[in-house]
Amino acid sequence: MSTHWTPPLLVFSAALALCGCGDKAGNDTTTSEGGVDDGGTEGNGGSDDGGSDDGGSDDGGSDDGETGSDSGTGDDGGGTVDADGDGYAADEDCDDTDGAVWLVDSPTGTLDFDAFCPGYCGRTFQGDLDLSSASQAQVDQLSCLVGVTGDLVVVGNASVTGLDLGSLETVGQSLEISSCDALATVSLGALSSTGEDVRISTNPSLVGVDLAAVAAVGQDVLFTLNESVSALDLGALSTVGRSVYLQSNPSLSSVDLGSLTGVVSELYVRNLAQLSSLDLDALTGTGGTVWLDRNPALTTLDLGALTSTGGGLLISHDDALTTLDLTALTSTGSTLEVSHTDALTNLDLSALTTTGGYLLVYNNTALRGVDLNGLMGTRGALTVELNQRLSSLYLRALTQTAGDLTIVHNALCADDVAALEGQVDVLGTFTNRDNIGSCP
């Protein structure tokens, strides 16, 4: 249901933008047997700020019996530590434990794969980074990439099998990985945030995704039509600026959204044929509708922290669902529907006081009890229908419905249902039919 947005393609350049970054061999110093001299040559004994003499330095250097530190550069006799021996002192080395890197981040908007990382601990790319035409070897050369200020896009890449950007921490705008037929793994274990979307879709060979550190997404999270992925760990995700769409991933059996407390707009977990584990334990509210439907393998749905939705709440066609916790839910901004949950035996909505639209409990073949004792009114119709085993329905606080009140084809006592006609102000039609349960 989503379209893929592709930003303007980045033109790869062979030019290298390494501003002010010298190479290890480029230091303008002269060395001899003893060490480094700032301005002249060095004698056998040590360093001298202005020249040499066989006996040692005149200004705090060493004499014949002393040598300077082997792991540092001369600095008025004290020496500055260079622990990794790469010629760069600790105070100017990005990592003084690794001789292969010494350069601090020098952001660039020009991509030369061969020269982007050598010497750098971490490097930021400025602007949009498009890897849609990159080879596997080129992607592998971006191991130092820590940030992208614009979009990071990999769309329609037919050759890359592994997208390992394990140092990447932030994406300023959107991350999109889609329609990459050969892609098997996405390793973004350090990524903590994106300014806009995370979109991963239509990657038929994808089996592994590491997004475990993502805590904040500025707009949408979309994960759809990835046929082979079995697990999605978004356990650190706590903030979503707009909506979450998880749908039509036929092998996905486990989804961790255990830190997600709310979304500004909508939450979709839909059409996941193998989904058996869904962690939404921390979810307290949404600005829009929550769709949790057509997940036939899901047995437990814990929404015990959910107090309200700005839109509706739809739980439907979750055929194996036996446990549903909605005990904290007090209101919905629109429709509330629980339907076609063939294994559910009990529905506790005792904290619910109002709905912003219709309330529908429909065709739940194993359902025996519904507790709506806190419900005072609905802003739409209230329908309880085709629940063949439903023998208990509690509506003691209900005084008004802004639509029809329909209770038909259940195992309820018809006389108990009839009593509601005198209790509730129905702004529509009251229907009590084919409730075939025994009456006390």
Q: Is residue 113 part of a domain?
A: no
pLDDT digits (tens, 9 = 90+) for 16-26: 333 334 444 33
Q: Is 296 within the bounds of a domain? A: yes
Q: Does any domain span residue 244? A: yes
Residues 211 and 296 in one domain: yes
Residue 307 within any structural domain of the chain: yes
What's residue 57's pLDDT? Answer: 40
> Does 129 or 15 have the greater pLDDT score?
129
Single-letter amino acid code for the residue at 335: T
Same domain, 162 and 84: no
Same structural domain, 140 and 73: no
* Region of poorest pLDDT, from 80-89, 107-116, 117-126, 313-322: 80-89
Question: Looking at the structure, do residues 239 and 334 belong to the same domain, yes or no?
Answer: yes
CATH number, position 391: 3.80.10
82-97 mean pLDDT = 77
Residue 284 and residue 166 share a domain: yes
Tell me whether residue 127 is in a domain: no
Same domain, 83 and 140: no
> Average per-residue pLDDT in the chain?
86
**69 pLDDT tier (thresholds 50, 70, 90):** very low
The pLDDT tens digits of the residues spanning 377-411 come to 999 999 999 999 999 999 999 999 999 999 999 99
Same domain, 52 and 178: no
Residues 75 and 200 in one domain: no
What domain range is 72 assigned to? 28-91
Are residues 327 and 217 part of one domain?
Answer: yes
pLDDT digits (tens, 9 = 90+) for 263-319: 999 999 999 999 999 999 999 999 999 999 999 999 999 999 999 999 999 999 999
The tally of domains found in the chain comes to 2
Flag whether 51 is in a domain: yes
Tell me: do 57 and 140 sit in the same domain.
no
In a domain, 268, yes or no: yes
Same domain as 287, residue 428: yes
Give residue 85's pLDDT: 78
User: Per the domain annotation, does 105 fall within a domain?
Assistant: no
The pLDDT tens digits for 194-222 are 999 999 999 999 999 999 999 999 999 99
Do both 198 and 314 map to the same domain? Answer: yes
Q: What band does 83 get if pLDDT is binned at 50, 70 and 90?
A: confident
